[in-house]
Chain A
């Protein structure tokens, strides 16, 4: 099913979001650091893209940059383009009015912590209606309520008419995340960005939520970006994947290619180090030595060079450029 949809999605017109050479920097006590340094990827229409990486790799910052939600004034987009439907959004970021038309209307986002993302002192219904008030100001409040109820029903909430009169604390974690998704989808966006949507949830609830996102995606025909640290989530839910490390894209490819033939040493290490059901119990797991350096202490050249087993001279001095060793499979490593 996934493969079929991918086959016909190759023409450039089918690319709904094109991020290229994105550089995002933050002002810190130690000066400006680049949290994202030249990231680029494409999202196909109707497809699911997974962005995977460890904490601090810049995956969430990339999402915030796309949404125009970088913390101000410390964070800013230094360079690069974010083309949404072939139109660059970066120049719009400064103008609040312009971004409002897109954010929440055409591109929506759901966050990791459903408790902190919802307003604790407002009822669910009030918070959901905000979307309509903002984007469809002519709607009657009665219609808004009905629309909210039907949206909640769509995300699998059993008694939505009751839930809109409840406060977030009265709902379980899984329910809250469903409410968040219902809110994000109520304006029928073209793109849904899900930043670690299930990290705070249990595996059985995670399965419910991801299943539901897949269903709704097929129903509404939207594109989805899933940001996660869990390679399992990527393997099971995404068409394409981007592996990020230290603010850069290490490797990107279609999911089956990436898992069957990972080429970047970081991706290889990451895949090997997860204890799977197939690894011999109690055996020593392969590891990636050391740990992710903090952003101000990133090595020059390839940012993975200080942890890489295949490190060469050139890795320490020159930034590896993205190459395409196989069709549609991109990697930034001097080995290729």
Chain B
């Protein structure tokens, strides 16, 4: 039986704590060519030195506004773009720059769901053909024991697959245009899970859908993830959706991660000024809500020429001198506690109030960190820290 294979795979990775997907110092620059001889005129810094781990069965949410590099990052992880630097590891194996057979064997274990269900399905193929393609391509290659070798067994698989995503068997002979947006996204999901991957990269999977359909698709994705033990990266600009599906969240701005922590922590105690502004800008469907809204000034600078120092300094209301020339590192928020206790209480820094505000947040996160240290005994995993890249929270820089 085909389902046995899945169970076996689960059994293999009994060690729950190793990261399935590791992204290390990933850099992606796109050269811009122009002029008569199409000379290189500049570089778009789409993703600049991004690192994170995703553990088995967990979801990392990537949020940020358009142009922050989240989609590029997703595509780089999938190997759809060659990297300009850094590496991506799957189960500790470096998959950077893999080609041919090797790349395909990684693709078998890592799949992607795309944003636009109207464009990501071939309009001239029936749903059956779209879903069958995967089995043909990967079967020929891997010669494995999935039993998807002939057309009737493939059809059996496809029917099962359609049932799993809530579509009927009749869908096999129909074309994508005959389906609504939500149903098409179900087909996209079916295609992504057909080979029972371990990692799923979801690039804005529900952004193009209506509200009432969006919740159906989110429910489906959560169920599938639980059933299949999928590890996933969920890219979206919708903070509420990301919060709903993610264990950890990374907030991106202009190609860099500015803050990364457990989902709840980011939402309850955002630390980076950008995260705060982003969260406060989301309209909440509650007229009684009394949140204070932070309106950011200006626009996102061009990634062709990102600002020096902290990339957010041109729009930050707490900007200090240091922000303009020194780039803040993404560091654990324990640094804040150090800074807070030692220096800042006595100083007359303008940012004192800001830091005071986040004191409670820090205390909380410290408790959680301590607790998790007790459990895992592992202080290096990014999942237990609240990482933030901002000079407000970094002791050494402020002292100068």
Contact = CB atoms under 8 A, between A and B. Distances in A.
A291 interface: yes
A220 B258 CA distance: 40
Contacts of A281: 243-246, 263-264
Given A274-B240, A285-B218, A232 B296 contact: no
A89 B65 CA distance: 42
Interface stretch (A80-88, A119-127, A201-209): A201-209
A270 interface: yes
How many chain B residues sit at the interface, stated as a range, is: 35 or more
Nearest to A276: B240
Given A282-B245, A285-B244, A287-B216, A232 B284 contact: yes
B244 A259 contact: no
Given A203-B65, A211-B295, A232 B285 contact: yes
A203 B264 contact: no
A286 interface: yes
A311 interface: no
A256 B180 contact: no
B372 interface: no
B49 to A, nearest CB: 23
Contacts of B287: 235-236, 255-256, 259-260
Interface in A169-206: 172, 174-175, 202-206
B284 to A, nearest CB: 5
Nearest to A275: B244
Contact of A229 (B210, B286, B295): B210
Q: Contact size class for A? A: 35 or more
Interface string B360-397: 00000000000000000000000000000000000000
Most B Cβ at <10 Å: residue of A204, A260, A284: A204
Nearest to A3: B287
A175 B299 CA distance: 9
Contacts of A38: none
Contacts of B264: 281
B222 A282 contact: yes
A230 interface: yes
Contacts of B284: 232, 235-236, 276-277
A247 to B, nearest CB: 15
A172 B300 CA distance: 9
A229 B285 contact: no
A259 B237 CA distance: 25
A203 B282 contact: yes
Interface in B207-251: 210-216, 218-219, 222-223, 237, 239-241, 243-246
A207 B210 contact: no
Contacts of A256: 287-288
Given A274-B215, A282-B245, A236 B66 contact: no
Interface string B254-272: 0000000001100100000
A38 B86 CA distance: 60
Contacts of A205: 65, 299
A33 interface: no
Q: Which one of B211, B267, B281, B298 has the greatest number of beta carbons of chain A within 10 Å?
A: B211
A245 to B, nearest CB: 10
B243 A277 contact: yes
A133 interface: no
B319 interface: no
Contact of A54 (B211, B245, B267): B211
Contact of A202 (B215, B237, B240): B237
B299 A172 contact: yes
B172 interface: no
Interface in B137-188: 180, 182-183
Interface in B67-111: none
Interface in A142-191: 158, 172, 174-175
Contacts of B286: 235, 259, 276
A204 B212 contact: no
A231 B215 CA distance: 14
Interface string A228-250: 01111111110000000000000
B266 to A, nearest CB: 11
Contacts of B288: 256, 259-260
6 contacts: A202-B66, A204-B278, A210-B283, A235-B286, A274-B211, A285-B219
Interface of B: 65-66, 180, 182-183, 210-216, 218-219, 222-223, 237, 239-241, 243-246, 263-264, 267, 277-278, 280-289, 293, 295-296, 298-299
Interface of A: 54-55, 158, 172, 174-175, 202-208, 210-211, 229-237, 255-256, 259-260, 269-271, 273-277, 279, 281-282, 284-288, 291-292
Given A235-B285, A235-B289, 19 more contacts: A158-B298, A204-B278, A204-B281, A205-B299, A206-B281, A206-B283, A207-B296, A211-B295, A233-B283, A235-B283, A236-B287, A255-B287, A271-B285, A275-B218, A275-B241, A275-B244, A282-B244, A287-B219, A291-B182
